[in-house]
Amino acid sequence: MSRKKWQLLGLLTAAGAVVVGLVTAPASAAGGVSAVFAKGSDWGSGYEGKYTVANGSGSALASWTVEFDLPSGAKVASLWDGSYTTSGQHVTVKGTWNGTIAAGASASFGFNVTYSGSYTAPANCKLNGGSCAAGGTPPTSTTTPPTTTTPPTTTPPTTTTPPTTTPPPATGGKGAPYLYLGWGNPPNPQTVMNATGVRWFTMAFINASGGCNPAWDSSRPLTGSPDAAAIAQIKAAGGQVVPSFGGWSGSKLGPACSTPEALAGAYQKVIDTYGLTAIDIDIENSDEFENAVVQDRVLGALKIVKQRNPGVQTILTFGTATTGPNYWGTRLIEQSKALGAGVDTYTIMPFDFGGGADMYQSTVNATNGLRDKLKATFGWSDATAYTHIGISGMNGLSDQQELTDLTTWSRITSWAKGNKLARLAFWSVNRDRGCAGGGVQEACSGIAQDDWAFTRITAGF
């Protein structure tokens, strides 16, 4: 399932342009569809939209179509999260999510269209039950409801002989919340460390810059950037970082690097630059997670990294259903064994998955689903499987308005600690500030809380 649509949280407040759009639901999603389009984020110019499909009947595959008109002078330069066609200024975006939405639940999706040319941005617009502000009008054309397809049924490739050694449990970055310097009023990391006792941060996101070259958000260099300064500050205070590659949006290294060797070289450059002991590959979306070729390329690269750096912990982070890994997650795990990737930690993101009111139980269920898959794949015991599992949650309100409050996060942390899980993270330190009733924000949690409360809990993991 899609995850770092987390990056789209910045849309609500950052300066930029907006899309005027219309979303159509799959025929079986009787609950209807809501669409909210907001301003582009400050990490790059472009039109961005976030929308939710709500299913009021039985389970349904989430197919979607979005139509919008570009302002005069704007042109499509690229698109993430789907395919698109253009007719003049009119753009049609289509895509699918390979999963199901239970009755009464919903799933959020996102897209981004970058542009060229000058333009006058229309106002924010909410359609399908909402209203358009002055300057924003919905397109006059109608969309054709997307067809409902069936989930992939391709049998995963036949596995080869498993590696003869089992990777040791991960030891790096056990409690390491995400810190992102791209937006969201990034806090001073040393201030957070002093206030909470946390010593590890997961730094997001390293992606491709001009081909198979790593850079923060594809734009900020590895050295001489605010990210590099923050890492130096964290280390000076006795801490360490786990850089995260990938995420939901952006130009990612997995597709950009043509071979496992080239991709491993990109990972190695980051390892060498910062003297790392752990890296996180946040593998998401149709360009990496839902792409068999790129999945295998990432796993092949991690195998090379492990051979070159036996002491560096390798982490895979990916989405999940409430019952555990979906088709693509299952394939990723099976292929990691088949290719001998030697992955240390498999981290799931248990949110934006129709988790319902009880996010503690949904998280436990999803984690145990992963445990069972690791046991079946590697022949591990419950205890061994847990030592190769991580949880990466979302503090406060998720994109789907799932609520993980401080009590819930404390319970999740205690459960993870009691079962000796390898890793605990959340998105994000930027959001670890209170704003009760504020909704989903990039610089606060949307709930009442003290600053850095989630980080303080995580530091005790």
List active site positions.
Answer: 284
| Cα gap 286→24, rounded to integer Å | 20
Cβ atoms within 10 A of the Cβ of 85, count?
Answer: 10
DSSP state of 448: -
Q: What is the DSSP string of 340-398?
A: T----EEEEE-SSS---S-HHHHHHHHHHHHHHHHHHHH---HHHHHTTEEEEEE-EE-
3-state secondary structure of 44: coil
Residues 6+ apart with CB under 8 A from 161: none
CB 277 within 8 A of CB 172: yes
Secondary-structure percent of the chain, ordered helix, strand, coil, rounded to 5: 30, 25, 45
Residues 6+ apart with CB under 8 A from 71: 17, 89, 119, 120, 121, 122
Residues 6+ apart with CB under 8 A from 419: 386
Cβ atoms within 10 A of the Cβ of 159, count?
Answer: 12
Cα torsion angle, 144, 100, 349, 304, sign: negative
| Cα gap 264→258, rounded to integer Å | 11
